[in-house]
Amino acid sequence: MSRSGAVANSLKSIEHFIDGKFQGGSSKETFETINPATGKVHGLVSLGTADDIDRAVAAARRAFEKGPWPRLSMRERCDVLRKIGALILERREEFAIAESTDAGKPINESFDGDIPRSAFNFQFFADFAATYVEETFTSSASERHIAVREPLGVCGLITPWNLPLYLATWKIAPALAMGNTIVLKPAEWTPYTAYLLAEVMQQAGLPPGVFNIVQGFGAGGAGEALTRHSDVRSISFTGETSTGRAIMQAASATLKKLSFELGGKGANIIFADADLDDAIPTAVRAAFRNQGQICLAGSRLFVERKVYDQVVEKIVALVQRIKVGDPLSKETEMGALISREHMEKVQSYLAIGKSEGKLLCGGERLNELGDGNFLSPSVFTDLKIQSRFLQEEIFGPALPILPFDSEEEAIELANATPYGLSASVWSKDIDRLERASAKIRAGMIWINTWFARDLRTPFGGQKSSGMGREGGRYSLEFFSEAKTISYKYKI
């Protein structure tokens, strides 16, 4: 509520999308959406309430029970998905500018990464869903059992601000492919591209009520109301681990199906025999892409002592060359952090790093860039693994580097965190890579790479990093219910 604002005509008005129509909330209240690179308000967003969630869920339920969407053939639904993907690509530049303005991320990342990937999420699931194979169990010549998948009904989707459209579409596409209807609550900081997506849904001819958006806040607001709603059959959530816990509690009364993609504290392990020319620049990208605000970031770097000094020196040299600045400039490599609050949180970790370890570069607020949330990318050494700096998710441009002396120690360090989302291991020794992959407790292990993805593979975390998996058939199965139909034949 701290960002509630009076309506100003010059600002973009970002409304809810309910039952196929853009509309304000029942309370008529709005909140400001702020450009993280300038600190200036660039839009007024309808502030969703429990009442708006009720209306959106009712529309989604009507569309599910009486509308055509769940009754279309898979092929017909997938044709619509392809159209949505194509329409996003047609408006790629507009989407990219909206994403970078809302989230502070460099335009190159939005234009070449987030937006085409969002379009591809629809194209991928359109192709993949058509290949989904249901199972048949033949018990005898006279008895057969078929396991079919049915849509769940109204699916609640709650998404974060770091990859706003990319992660929302990663849930929307499989949910739609399986014949569900949706209520989406985007992150309060990044409402803009979800709004544009609703325009695309209208253009693509999606029937009213199939896709709904309620903008607003999480705890105590629209997000929480969605998790408590008795007509919502599932919640697919991406965000912080602590929010996942709150959602699990709130959803327990109505026994919803839950999928959680939560925080990370990825280990990046470089052995002395690694291809350092590849490992070092990749380690920099893994730590600082999207201002370090990526769940999959390589946010803890462990380097074998034999090459430690050399690697640290080269990393610092590369980090000092990162161009921080206006997210809308094509020259920019690192933009602004999402909000003043988040920047202050990151700065509180920088203070820990400075007092407990050694700062090698960066870690300063870049006042010369104006009122935006700009920090210079930082590298720290001499920290202990028990430090909060290495235990908690900072979600900012700060990389701690620690040395190790043996394979066992490297794996122990990698596992010494409550998180278990992803890890990278760099070496030329295939046996060592195999052992490390087996022993590191994380949902995704990259061998001599980072961020490589095939959308058919399971994506998700172990330990405090999540519950369930997304991707390929894992998403299609989450967004559907299995039903067994058994046949007895008289032969």
Determine the Cα–Cα distance for residues 473 and 486; give it in Å rounded to an integer.
23
Write the binding mask 460 to 479 for ligand NAP: x where contact by CB under 6 A, - elsewhere. -x----x-------------
Instruction: Identify residues 373-402 at the interface with ligand NAP (CB under 6 A).
Output: 393, 395
Q: What is the 3-state secondary structure (H, E, C) of 404-458?
A: ECCHHHHHHHHHCCCEECEEEEECCCHHHHHHHHHHCCCCEEEECCCCCCCCCCC
Q: 427-436: long-range contacts at Cβ-Cβ below 8 A with a sequence spacing of 24 or more?
A: 427/271, 427/273, 427/274, 428/273, 428/274, 428/275, 429/271, 429/273, 432/271, 432/407, 435/407, 435/411, 436/269, 436/407, 436/410, 436/411
State in angstroms the smallest separation of the CB of 393 from ligand NAP: 5
Q: Which two three-digit tokens encode residue 383?
A: 């920290």
Tell whether residue 160 is a contact of ligand NAP (CB under 6 A): yes
Q: Candidates 35-43, 207-215, 237-245, 473-481: pick the segment binding ligand NAP (CB under 6 A).
A: 237-245
Q: Does 229 bind ligand NAP (CB under 6 A)?
A: no
For ligand NAP, the closer of residues 79 and 240 by Cβ is 240
> How far from the centroid of its chain's Cα atoms is residue 239's Cα?
7
DSSP annotation of 23: E
The DSSP bridge partners found for residue 463 are 419
Q: How far is the CB of 93 from ligand NAP (least distance, A)?
A: 24
* Residue 25 near ligand NAP by CB under 6 A: no
Catalytic residue among 15, 261, 304, 470: 261
Mark the segment that binds ligand NAP (CB under 6 A) among 43-51, 54-62, 142-150, 216-224: 216-224
For residue 261, give the 3-state DSSP assignment: strand
Mark whether 261 is an active-site residue. yes
Task: Considering only the stretches 8-16, 112-120, 211-219, 448-456, report the one whose residues sit in contact with ligand NAP under the rule CB under 6 A.
Answer: 211-219
Q: How far is the CB of 30 from ligand NAP (least distance, A)?
A: 14
Give 263 or 403: the residue with its C-beta nearer to ligand NAP.
263
Kindly state whether residue 50 participates in binding ligand NAP, applying the rule CB under 6 A: no
96 binds ligand NAP (CB under 6 A): no
Q: Does 263 interact with ligand NAP (rule: CB under 6 A)?
A: yes
Q: Does 261 engage in binding with ligand NAP (CB under 6 A)?
A: yes
Instruction: Specify whether 295 is catalytic.
Output: yes
In the complex, the smallest distance separating the C-beta of residue 179 from ligand NAP, rounded to whole angstroms, is 24
Q: Among residues 165, 187, 197, 267, which is the contact residue for ligand NAP, using CB under 6 A?
A: 187
Interface with ligand NAP includes 157 (CB under 6 A)? no
From the list 69-77, 186-194, 311-319, 348-356, the region that binds ligand NAP by CB under 6 A is 186-194
* CB neighbour burial string for 152-186, b if at least 16 within 10 angstroms, e if fewer: bbbbbbbbbbbbbbbbbbbbbbbbbbbbbbbbbbb
SS3 373: coil
Residue 14 CA: distances (Å) to CA of 22, 143, 186: 9, 56, 12
Q: Does 188 bind ligand NAP (CB under 6 A)?
A: yes
Annotate 427-461 with b (16+ C-beta within 10 A) or e (fewer): beeeeebeebeeebbbbbbbebebbeeebeeebbb
Contact between 102 and ligand NAP by CB under 6 A: the answer reads: no
| 247 in contact with ligand NAP (CB under 6 A) | yes
Name which position in 94, 240, 371, 481 contacts ligand NAP (CB under 6 A). Answer: 240
Closest CA to 395 of 466, 339, 464: 339
Piece in contact with ligand NAP (CB under 6 A), picked from 153-161, 192-200, 324-332, 345-353: 153-161
Measured CA to CA in angstroms, residue 405 lies from 238, 270, 279, 285, 305 at distances of 36, 11, 18, 25, 6
Q: Find the part of the chain contacting ligand NAP (CB under 6 A) among 57-65, 82-90, 146-154, 212-220.
A: 212-220
Residue 223 lies near ligand NAP (rule: CB under 6 A) = yes
CB 210 within 8 A of CB 226: no
Does residue 446 bind ligand NAP (CB under 6 A)?
no
Which is catalytic among the residues 15, 295, 393, 407? 295
What tokens appear for 171 in the block?
């849930």
Contact with ligand NAP (CB under 6 A) among 80, 204, 262, 379: 262
> Hunting for tokens 């092929």 — which residue is that?
75
Closest residue to ligand NAP, judged by C-beta, is 218
Cβ closest to ligand NAP, residue 298 vs residue 325:
298
Q: Pick from 227, 299, 381, 480: which binds ligand NAP (CB under 6 A)? A: 227
Residue type, 351: A
Closer by beta carbon to ligand NAP, 248 or else 361: 248
The C-alpha atoms of residue 464 and residue 71 are separated, in whole angstroms, by 38
Shortest distance, position 345 Cβ to ligand NAP, whole Å = 10
Contact 403, 272 (CB under 8 A): no
Nearer to ligand NAP, 296 or 401 (CB): 296
Q: How far is the CB of 371 from ligand NAP (least distance, A)?
A: 21
Residue 358: other Cβ atoms inside 10 A: 11
Structure tokens at 119: 């379009």
Which residues contact ligand NAP by CB under 6 A?
A: 158-163, 167, 185, 187-189, 217-219, 223-224, 227, 238-240, 243, 246-247, 261-264, 295, 393, 395, 421, 461, 466
Active site residues: 261, 295
